[in-house]
Structure 1
Amino acid sequence: MKIIVPMAGRGSRLRPHTLTIPKPLIPIAGKPIVHRLVEDITKVLKESVEEIAFIIHKSFGKEVEKDLLAIAQKLGAKGTIYYQNEALGTAHAILCAKDSMQGPVVVAYADTLFRADFTLDQTADSVIWVKAVDDPAAFGVVQLNEKNEIIDFVEKPKEFISDLAIIGIYYFKSAENLRMELQYLLDNDIAKGGEYQLTDALENMKQKGLKFVPGKVEEWMDCGNKNVTVDTNNRMLNFLDKDGEQLVSKTVVIENATIIPPCYIGENVVLKNATIGPNVSVGNHSSIENATIKNSLIQTHAVIKNAALDNAMIGNHAVFNGKFTNVSIGDYSVLE
C-alpha cells in the first residue's frame, strides 16, 4: 500500500502561522497535522505502508522535506518528495506523484483529520471517505444506491441529494487506473477555471463501471483556519486522553502550577504560577509564567507571561506578555 499526500498549498486562511511553516506541519496535540493523518490512515487500513509520497511546493525548503521524510520513516515507510509549483488543481497535484502510482494507493489531502473504525472493502475499485454533515450544500457529496455503492458525485448541491460529504481521503485498488484517468484530463485539457479536478477523473472511472463505495468516518476535524484548528486540537486531545495516551512529558518543570487535563505538554516546558487546561497543547521548550490558559494551541519555544488566554494560537518562538485573550500570533512575533 502507498499513500499520496498533496500538500503544496501554504494555507492562506491560517496566516500568520503558515507564513513560516506549511499548514500540514502545524502541530495538533504535539504532532504535525500530516503526521497524525498518515498515522490514522495506516490504522484504518490495517496494512503495512511501503511508501508515502508528499507533494509540496519547491519553496517549502529542505528543512520541511527532511521533516516529511522523517514522518514516513517513523511509520516504517519510504518517503518520497514531489513538487507542484503551479496551482493547477487536484488532478494535476496527484499526477505529480505519477512515478509512485503503482498498486493500491490512498490519496489524502493534508488539511483534515478523522477518526474511523471500519474494514476496507477489498472488492471495491475505490473507497471514498465521507461524513454525514448538517449542511451538505457547503461540500462535495456522494449519492448512494440501495447496494451502498456510490452512483454520483455532486459539488455543493443546491437541492438535497445526500448529506454524505467527501472529506478528502480516497482509496484506489489500482493506482495505474487513476494515473491513466488523470493523464487523460491533462492530455485533453479538461479543466474548470484553469484547474484539473479529481472529481472529473472519478466520474470517468465510474462511467467505465468501476465500483465506488463509501468509507464512513465517526469524526471529521478540519484545520482550515485558526478557530477550527484550535477546536480540532481540543477534540484530538480528548480522543487521545480517552485512549489512555501519555500526553504530558516527564521533563516538564512545574512550579506552583496546575495542569487540568486533557493537555499535551511537550519536552522541557516550564510552567510557573500557571493554570493550564483543559484542552491546551504546549510545544517543546516553551515557558509559561503567571498565566491561565485554556482551549489553546501553543507551539515550540514560546514565552508567555501575565496572560489569560482562551481560544488562542501562538506560533513558534513567539513572545506574549499581556492581558489579551482571543489572539493568533505567528512565529517569532513579540507582543508585550
Structure 2
Amino acid sequence: MNMIIPMAGLGKRLRPHTLSVPKPLLPIAGKPIVHRLVEDIAKVTPEKIDKIGFIIHPSFGKEVEESLIAIAREVGAEGKIYYQETALGISHALLFAKELFTGKVIVAFADTLFKAEFKLDTNKDGIIWVQRVDDPSQFGVVRLNDAGEIVEMVEKPSQPVSDLAIIGIYFFKDGAALAREMQYLIDNDIKDKGEYQFTSALQRLSNAGAKLMTGQVTEWLDCGNKNVTVQTNQRYLEFIKDQKLVSDKAKVINSVIIPPCYVGAGAVIENSVIGPYVSVGENTRISDSRIQNSILQKEGRVSKALLENSMFGNFAIFEGSSLDLSVGDFNTIA
C-alpha cells in the first residue's frame, strides 16, 4: 500500500508563519502537522505502508525534503519527493506521483488532522472520510443513496446538496483506476472552477462502477489559519494528555505548568505559569510570563508576556513591558 500527500501549497492564510516554513511542517503538540498525519493514518491502516509520496513546491528546499523522508522512515516506509510548481488542482498535483498509484492507495491532504477509533477496511473499493458541517459551501461534499453509497460529489456547492464534507483523507483499492480518471481530466482539459478537481475524478470513478463508501472520524481538526491551528494544538494535546509531554531535558525553574502542555528538549521556563494547552518548542526560553492556549516554536525568547491564542515562529523574540500602575475605580486597561 502507498500513500500520497499533496502539500505544494504556500499556506498564504497562515502567513507570516509560512514565509520560511511550509504549513505542513508547522508543529502541533511538538510534531509537524504532516508528521502527526502520517502517524495517525499508519495507526488505522492494517497493512504496511510501503511508499509515501510527498508532492511539494520546488522552493521548499533540501532541508524540508530530508525531514519528509525521515517522517516516512519512522513508519517503515520509503519516502519519495515530487514537485508541483503551478497549482492547477488536486488531480493535477497527484499525477506528479503517478508511479505510486498502483494497488491500494491512501491520499491525504497535509493540512488536516483527525481523531479516529477504527481500522481501515481495505476490502472496500474506496472510502472517503467525511464530517457533518454547518456550511457545506466551503467544502467538497458527498451525497449518498439509501444503501449508504456515494452517488454524487460536488466541490463547494452554491446550492445545498449535502452537509457531509470531505475532510481530505481517502482510500482506494485500485489506485491505477483512479490515476486513469485523473489523467482523463488533464487529457481532455476538463476543469471545474478553473482547476482539475479531485471530486471530478472521483465522480468518474464512481460512474465507472467503483462503490465508494464514507468513513467517519471522531473529530476533524483543521490547520488552515492561525486561530484554527491553535485550536487544533489544543485538541491534540487533549488527545495525547496521558503521554509524557514535558521533556526531561527541559528546565522548569520556579514555574507552574498546567497540563496538558508540550515542552521540548532544551526549553527553559522560569518564573512563569504555562498552560493549559501550550506547546513550547526546543530551546525556547520563557521568563516572567503567563501563557495559555498558544504555540511557541523552537529557539524563541519570550519574557514579561501575557499571551493567549497566540502563535510564535522559530527564533521569534518577544519582550513585554514591566508596568508600575496605579489604577482607579471603574477604569479599564486593555
Band of TM-score, shorter chain: over 0.9
Counterpart for residue 311 of structure 2: 313
Identity of aligned residues (%): 56
Instruction: Name the CA distance, whole Å, in 2 between partners of 1:238 and 1:23.
Output: 22
What per-residue deviation string (whole Å, max 9, x for no partner) do you get for residues 84-123 of structure 1? 0111111000000012221101011101100112233334
Residue in structure 1 matched with residue 12 of structure 2 by the alignment: 12
Q: Give secondary structure in 1 for the equivalent of 2:190.
A: coil
1:245 partner SS = coil
The corresponding residue for 1:291 is 289
Q: State the partner residue of 1:2.
A: 2
Who is 1:233 aligned against? 233
Superposition RMSD in Å: 1.3
CA distance in 1, matches of 2:187, 2:113: 33
**1:1-80 alignment, distance < 5 Å:** 1-80=1-80
TM-score, length of structure 2 as denominator length: 0.94
Query: Which residue in the other structure is 1:272 paired with?
Result: 270
Q: Deviations over 1:277-306 (max 9, x none)?
A: 000000000000000000000000000011
> Which residue identity is paired with 2:300?
A
Equivalent pairs, count? 322
SS at structure 1 position matched to 2:124: coil
Q: Which moved more, 1:146-155 or 1:223-232?
A: 146-155
Larger displacement relative to structure 2 (308-317 or 133-142):
133-142
Conserved 8 A contact 1:304-1:320: yes
Which range is displaced more, 284-293 or 130-139? Answer: 130-139
Kept in 2: contact 1:127–1:214 (CA 8 A): yes
Corresponding residue for residue 96 of structure 1: 96
Work out which of the two has the higher radius of gyration on C-alpha atoms and give 1 or 2: 2
Return 5+ residue gaps in structure 1 as ranges. 325-336
How much has 1:215 moved relative to structure 2?
Answer: 0.8
The residue type equivalent to 1:188 in the other structure is N
**Alpha-carbon distance in 2 for matches of 1:135, 1:323:** 42
- TM-score normalized by structure 1? 0.93
Q: Hey, what's the Cα distance between the residues in 2 that align with 1:67 and 1:120?
A: 27
Cα deviation for residue 80 of structure 1 reads 0.2
User: Hey, what's the Cα distance between the residues in 1 that align with 2:46 and 2:299?
Assistant: 36
Contact 1:118 1:215 in 2 (8 A): no
Matches within 5 A, 1:128-277: 128-241=128-241, 244-277=242-275
Q: Deviations over 1:291-331 (max 9, x none)?
A: 0000000000000011000001000011100159xxxxxxx
CA deviation after TM superposition for structure 1 residue 159, in Å: 4.3
Q: Secondary structure in 2 aligned to 1:96?
A: helix
8 Å contact from structure 1 (residues 222, 228) kept in 2: yes
- The corresponding residue for 2:331 is none
Q: Which runs of 5+ in 2 are unaligned?
A: 323-334
Shift of 1:158: 4.2
Q: Secondary structure at the match of 2:39?
A: helix
* 2:140–2:199 contact (8 Å) kept in structure 1: no
